[in-house]
Amino acid sequence: MRVLFVASSGERGGAELALATYLEHLPPDVEGHGLVLSPGPVAALLAERLGRPVAAGGLTGRPGIAQAVRFARGYAAELRRVRPDVVLATGIKAAMLCAPAARGVPTVWHKVDLSYDGRVVRPLALLTAGVIPVSEAAGAAVPASRRLAPVPPPVRLDPAFRVGADRPPATLGSVGRLVPYKGHADVIEAAARLPGASVVIAGGRDPSAPGHADELRALAAARGVAVELLGHVDRVERVYERLTVLVQATYRDDRGFGGEGFGMSVAEAAWAGVPAVATSGGADAYAARVVPARDPAAIAAAVAAVAADPAAAAEASRRARADLAPARLAGELVSALRAAAARAAA
C-alpha cells in the first residue's frame, strides 16, 4: 500500500512528532510519502523517517480562498506524482485542504483535537473516506458513518526510561505551548495552595499569545510561587525527572479553542512513572486523578492525594506501557488506512 502522509504544520507540535513516530514503525509492505503544509523542521524529520524527500508548502496560518485554490493545483500534481492508494491528513488544516481536492483518492483524517467540533467537523468528515480520532473524546462529533476506531498517539520515550524512586519534593509540572487555554496559570494557582510547592513549565511561546510568559511570571510572583519556564524542550525526560506530579490543566476558552483530544504529556508521565492530574481529555485512563477544568482548588487537592498514593502511579504506568507502544499503534493506524481504502474502492 502506498500512503501519502500529510502534516498540517512544519513546526514540532505533538501531532507532527506523533506522525514521525508512526512512520518510524511502518510495516515493510507500506510505502510512505510525505507532504508538510508549512515550512519548518518537520519536513526534514519526516524525510528521515521515510528515507525519501518530503514536499513542503508555504501555508502558514489560516489560508485564504486564493491560497487554498493554489494549494489544490499543487496538490493535484503531487497526487499524480505519488499515486497514493490513500492519503492520511493529520490535523484539521490538512483535512480541510486535502479532502476537497482529493481527485478520487480516498482521504482519511487523523483527528487530533477538538477544534471546531460544533461547526466544521460533520461536513468535513463527510468529504473523507473515514476519520480516525486519537480518542473517543476526539471522535464524539464525527458522524458514525465516517468514524473509525481511535488510534492514539504513541509514546516516544525510550521503553527503558523510568524516573527514579526518590521523587523531588512538591514540584508541579506542566507541558504545553504557552497559550492561556493550556491552563498553566491554573497550575500556578494550585501550587499557591500547597505549602512550599514550585512549578516547572515546559513549552515554547505561541504567536497567538506573545505576552503569556510574562503574564505567568507576574502571576507566580503575586502568589509567591517559584516558577521556571523552560521553553521548548527536546528531551522531555529531563522535565519528568524533576516532577513530583504532572498537571495537565487544559480548558476550552470562550472561542472554543483548547481541550485535549488526547493529552500526550499525561501518557508520557504515566509511562515514566510520574503521577498525573488532568482535566478531561483522551488520556484520562492514564491520569491518577481527573479534575474539573478551571478549578485550582480541585487540582491542589488531587495533587496532594496522588503524591501520597504511589500505587495509582504504578497502575497508570502499567496501562500506558500496555496501550501506547509505537509499533503496536503504527500497525493499528495502517490497518485503519487499509480498511478505509478498501471501503472507498468498493
| CATH number of domain containing 266 | 3.40.50.2000
Per the DSSP assignment, residues forming a β-bridge with 132 are 110
pLDDT at 148: 96
What pLDDT is attached to residue 115?
83
Q: What kind and span of H or E run contains 310?
A: helix 310-323
- Each residue's pLDDT tens digit, 253-306: 888 778 889 999 999 999 999 999 999 888 989 999 999 999 999 999 999 999
Domains in the chain, number: 2
Q: Are residues 341 and 312 part of one domain?
A: no
Shared domain check, 294 and 184: yes
Is the pTM here over 0.85, yes or no?
yes
Strands 55-56 and 31-36: parallel
The reply to whether 215 and 179 lie within a common domain is yes
Q: How far apart are CA 213 and CA 184, in angstroms?
A: 10
Residue 162 predicted with pLDDT over 90: yes
What pLDDT sits at residue 35? 98
Q: Are 297 and 335 found together in one domain?
A: no
* Domain shared by 317 and 178, yes or no: yes
Looking at the fold, whether 149 and 179 belong to one and the same domain comes out as: no
In a domain, 163, yes or no: no
| Average pLDDT along the chain | 94
For residue 166, being part of any structural domain is answered with no
Find the domain containing 285 and state its range.
171-323
Distance CA 242, CA 212 (A): 23
Per-residue pLDDT, averaged over 238-265, amounts to 92
Q: What pLDDT score was predicted for residue 160?
A: 95
For residue 127, give the nearest of 152, 149, 109, 139 by alpha carbon: 109
Q: Is the per-residue pLDDT at 130 higher than 80? A: yes
Rounded Cα distance between 275 and 244, Å, is 7
Sole residue written with cell 476519520: 131
- Whether 203 and 263 map to the same domain: the answer is yes
